[in-house]
Chains A and B, each alone.
Chain A
């Protein structure tokens, strides 16, 4: 008898007797369950997280020791400037996985199953987002711990760091909605990746994550200074080092709200559209 033989008919009869359906789960319970699924995916496919964390750690270490002396006088001084920005960049890159995951689920047919279940229909989107926020938190923690090991000393203390990460999460959550749209429009997870990086590369590199605005030519300063990522990096640097800039924080919150308000209705419409 092979390992996957079916049990006897009688036993099957016992096992197949289906319990009554208890009635639809609440929206919250469905979202929590789907967030649990997202966490299981991190557990089973840790490489996805590894992938996006190793590069920033390499960046941090390399930039700190190679350019640190030239840019800020010493590696130790530079990392104080660099690390909050690396957290921003890393998290923004990971947001792409929201769209990648969604696209894969739709393409493989998993969403057909979800959509034929009697739950609050947008639950899979919110479940994925909730799972992503946890993923972002894990990634931020790892980067900050590595930073602390090589000399990062946040003047704002623990609370300042937590507030800065919180702000990055808010912006990342809003950005995820854009990748949800991309995830539903393009054909393959690879194209979600490519399309999203076309936006993300300039958005994160043309910011003040790596170097101070004042070192750039004036025309570039004008552009980079208006980049929302620059505001986010400035605000989170301020929070981590204890010199809070309420203007920058407010700007980030407004930008996040605008992105969510503009993108989520489009995303929901696309989601409800039949495929």
Chain B
């Protein structure tokens, strides 16, 4: 099997902080891979090392077989990075930004202009081509950021939190674009704080915590360690919580997850059918339920399941 990205025992420290503390990754060429973790877990640092913006302290990292330190320039020829913050010039128009990148990649002016127009159309930005980027909505800005990474042949695309701060419609558009980009054969490495997002887009994912990979696998593998579904029950009265937890653990065997909210009971389900059993048992015991829902486990729940503590936000 050929890997587009391989890292071994990758370490990067900033002062006393070990942003990467021995990261091993193997990412298959042509796949979408998700790096999942809370703020400050080391996701961005990992991407910046792979995109040659940071030099690792130790360990090795190769992109398409090229060493990110020794062959940095050759790596830059094949990859693109869309950072977490704007990576386009907001004073310039959408078209001008893409022409700028095209020129800096070595395209002639005419080729750069043609390519810019194509991309603006592909990203649903044709009508906004002549407007300054600072007039764009959040979703449009993310799209022009991503478009700027696809001006010329990109074998590996790094996307750092591509949907953070977007409204649901814009998020769906970005997801659709990522799928289309991957369908063209580009390897995509994206970071996210949402399990849901990693689940929808990526074949495999790694959960990162304090600079270490604490779980790795397909979304199915990961969920089997967390429970495929999470049950959330909101109670009307806090004094029924102990009873509710007892009922849930009796029905499910185990799987009750700790929760800070006194009105909430959260549990791991092995199958969606178990939810019906829980609901019936609860109503039989006269527990008043305000809200009853089954959904994807959140990153917090993944963390609880994997580490026994909630995801912490550490300052990067």
Contact = CB atoms under 8 A, between A and B. Distances in A.
Contact of A7 (B100, B106, B122, B139): B122
Interface residues of A, number: 44
A21 B108 CA distance: 11
A16 B180 contact: yes
A274 B53 contact: yes
B184 A16 contact: yes
A116 B105 contact: no
Contacts of B164: none
A23 interface: yes
Interface stretch (B2-10, B113-121, B226-234): B113-121
Interface stretch (B146-154, B264-272, B288-296): B146-154
Q: Give the interface centre of A7, A17, A112, A119 by most chain B CB atoms within 10 Å.
A: A112
A158 to B, nearest CB: 33
A30 B107 CA distance: 11
A157 B114 CA distance: 46
Contacts of A21: 77-78, 105-106, 152-153
A256 B96 CA distance: 34
A108 B85 contact: yes
A118 B76 CA distance: 5
Contact of B106 (A22, A109, A113): A22
B263 interface: no
Interface string B93-119: 100100011011111100100010011
B24 interface: no
A116 B151 CA distance: 13
A44 interface: yes
A30 B152 CA distance: 16
B199 interface: no
B52 to A, nearest CB: 7
A19 B124 contact: no
A18 interface: yes
A5 interface: yes
Given A21-B77, A113-B81, A41 B91 contact: yes
A10 to B, nearest CB: 11
Interface in B43-89: 48, 51-55, 73, 76-81, 83-89
Contacts of B184: 13, 16-18
Interface in B116-151: 118-119, 121-125, 127-128, 132, 139-140, 148, 150-151
A116 B90 contact: no
Given A112-B81, A274-B54, A25 B152 contact: no
Q: Which 6 A-B pairs have the closest CB atoms?
A: A109-B85, A15-B122, A113-B87, A33-B103, A118-B76, A25-B106
